[in-house]
């Protein structure tokens, strides 16, 4: 049975929703095509730890959840003309803020 996760990202004036299949996997070429980017750009995401490296083999494997992170990385890079290291830092900070907001919401319900 396939598990499908629905993830909704809320920020001040926008809502970004997407459906991700955790069983979906891509090769480097497939992932690059799905992202609309070059394989070299995807490899830069791996080099700067923007995307996780999941295997020790030469063949990279990407999951459906990596797609949204790569798209967010592209938007940050495009909108702010940011370097890969800046994008990595921005994504880490965004993730931390989302985690803290979730903790605050959870604490308010108790």
Q: Which helix or strand (DSSP H or E) is residue 4 part of?
A: strand 4-10
pLDDT band at 65 (very low <50, low <70, confident <90, very high): confident
pLDDT at 64: 86
Q: Tell me the pTM.
A: 0.75
Flag whether pLDDT at 18 surpasses 60.
no
Report the percent of the chain where pLDDT is more than 70: 79
> Among the CATH numbers 3.90.1150.10, 3.30.450.40, 1.10.1660.10, 3.10.20.90, which is that of 24-109?
1.10.1660.10
Q: What's the pLDDT tens digit per position in 74-97?
A: 999 999 999 999 999 999 999 999
Residues with Cβ within 8 Å of 27's Cβ and at least 6 positions away in sequence, in order, are 59, 60, 61, 62
For a pLDDT cut of 90, what percent of the chain falls above it? 62
d(CA 45, CA 69): 10
């Amino acid at each position: 049975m396939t598990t499908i996760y629905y993830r909704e990202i809320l920020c001040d004036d926008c809502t970004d929703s997407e459906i991700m299949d955790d069983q979906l996997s891509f090769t480097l070429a497939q992932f690059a095509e799905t992202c609309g980017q070059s394989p070299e750009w995807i490899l830069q995401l791996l080099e700067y730890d923007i995307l996780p490296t999941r295997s020790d083999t030469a063949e990279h494997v990407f999951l459906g959840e990596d797609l949204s992170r790569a798209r967010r990385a592209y938007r940050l890079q495009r909108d702010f003309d940011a370097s890969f290291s800046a994008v990595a830092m921005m994504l880490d900070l965004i993730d931390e803020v989302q985690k803290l907001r979730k903790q605050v919401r959870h604490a308010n319900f108790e």
